[in-house]
Amino acid sequence: MKEAYIVTSLRTPGCRRKKGALAQTRPEDLVKTVLNALIEQTPGVEKKDVEDILLGCAFPEAEQGLNIGRVMAQMCGFPDETCGATVNRFCSSGLEAIALQAMRIKSGWCDVAIGGGIESMSIVPMGGNMPRPHPEWAKENPDVYISMGITAENVANRYSISREMQDEFAYHSQMKASNAKKNKLYKEIVPTPASKYIEKNGEWVNETFIQDFDDGIRETTTAEGLAKLRPAFAATGSVTAGNSSQTTDGAAVSLVMSEEAVKKFGVKPIAKIKYYTVAGCKADEMGVGPAYAIPKLLKMAGMKVEDINIFEVNEAFASQAIYCLQQLGMYDKRELWESTSDKRIVNVNGGAIALGHPLGCTGAKLCAQIMNEMQERGAKYGVESMCIGGGMGAAALFELCD
């Protein structure tokens, strides 16, 4: 099989649903910013060279519907020959889009393509505008439709992940992110034009501005503050707003190329996409997905957990992230994920608890993050993984280019 290369990988900041900087900016405008930046930041490659744009989206409707992939190709001035499609595998949609482009390149069907993701959780609510579960089937089989927060409670209860463990994990996520923000480590962020209606002298005016940081990070987080929060999903539960991923708006894209295209356009790729896989699990504990997907991925690659230099494991909830790290033998080795450790290799600059989880964008967002982190640290092998609503996990293996 041929190689597929990630050449450029970028994201908008992740901003808080309804309360954040991107809440009133249409999803198409977020994608436009990163797609245009992707081409601008890849000298030698023009829009006409891109064959196809696949965009992941978990609720592809309303402003982010109507086949957003093709809409964006046209809106950004790609020629008519550049195609576009929308991909949905819920929380891994953005990674799925990148992996599908990689698979087409590996099979020799394509040379230059873009994969990415978009989710405006402010504009299209989680669950969509009109959820319609099958009425008879759902009576006997509600699990595939249940709240993600309840699946996180199930993981906590079944596998004894205490509130203290979840809050501690959340604290470290916030501290890693605070450090990264302070030291300007998120080099993959594209400063993003945004607009907001604000009241000025008794009148509503539309103000435009540039947003260049993730606005969900809480630098002031403390263990005591986290401990005070009430359960968000179950009266006697342990999952709170502080140890859950935040609901977020964002977009991210990656340019994927064949070896022939890399040579033809004279670009320097960041990494190869070696493998991608998905693994199924019980829907009512969907968060355990990475505990199945990562070992399956590593088996395909003939590698072990110890061979991987850096991990991005999506923090949908602290309970499920902790469980997955336990299963991978990394939770007890606290130096691998704690914010104070120089040896940390898991979510090194914080995870979705601090940075947010814009559903269909997340896979592409984490790809942009891990591409940046692999380059910064000279990390040879990187694994990106996430759990997926409905009961799945996805995982991809990247190898840094010399």
Ligand X SMILES: CC(C)(COP(=O)(O)OP(=O)(O)OC[C@H]1O[C@@H](n2cnc3c(N)ncnc32)[C@H](O)[C@@H]1OP(=O)(O)O)[C@@H](O)C(=O)NCCC(=O)NCCS
| Residues binding ligand X (CB under 6 A) | 91, 148-149, 174, 218, 221, 225-226, 229, 232, 241-242, 244-247, 316, 357, 389
Q: Nearest distance from residue 64's CB to ligand X, in Å?
A: 16
Q: Nearest distance from residue 225's CB to ligand X, in Å?
A: 4
- Among 101, 86, 79, residue whose Cα is nearest residue 27: 86
Residue tagged 């009133």 (tokens): 24
Task: Give 338's DSSP letter.
Answer: -
> 361 catalytic, yes or no?
no
222-243 exposure pattern, b = at least 16 Cβ within 10 A, e = fewer: eeeebeebeebbbeebbbbebb
Q: Counting Cβ atoms within 10 Å, is residue 300 exposed (0-12), middle (13-18) or buried (19+)?
A: middle
* Residue number, 84 or 390, with CB nearest to ligand X: 390
Residue 189 CA to its chain's centroid (Å): 13
Cα–Cα distance between 281 and 292 in angstroms, integer? 8
Residue 373 CA to its chain's centroid (Å): 14
Q: Nearest distance from residue 125's CB to ligand X, in Å?
A: 11
Structure-derived torsion over alpha carbons of residues 395, 167, 16, 396, reported in degrees to the nearest 10: -10
Q: Nearest distance from residue 263's CB to ligand X, in Å?
A: 40
Q: Nearest distance from residue 358's CB to ligand X, in Å?
A: 9
Which member of 15, 76, 357, 367 is catalytic?
Answer: 357
Q: What is the CA radius of gyration of the chain?
A: 20
* Residue number, 121 or 368, with CB nearest to ligand X: 121
246 Cβ neighbours under 8 A, 6+ residues apart:
14, 16, 17, 216, 352, 353, 354, 355, 356, 357
* Residue number, 8 or 248, with CB nearest to ligand X: 248
* Residue number, 105 or 387, with CB nearest to ligand X: 387
Asked if 190 and 175 touch (Cβ cutoff 8 Å), the reply is: no
Pairing of strands 15-16, 248-258: antiparallel
DSSP string, 271-330: EEEEEEEEEE--GGGGGGHHHHHHHHHHHHHT--GGG-SEEEE--SBHHHHHHHHHHTT-
> 357 catalytic, yes or no?
yes
* Residue number, 14 or 269, with CB nearest to ligand X: 14
* Residue number, 308 or 387, with CB nearest to ligand X: 387
Q: Nearest distance from residue 2's CB to ligand X, in Å?
A: 33
Which member of 57, 76, 91, 367 is catalytic?
Answer: 91
> 172 catalytic, yes or no?
no
Cα–Cα distance between 95 and 367 in angstroms, integer? 7
State the catalytic residues: 91, 357, 387
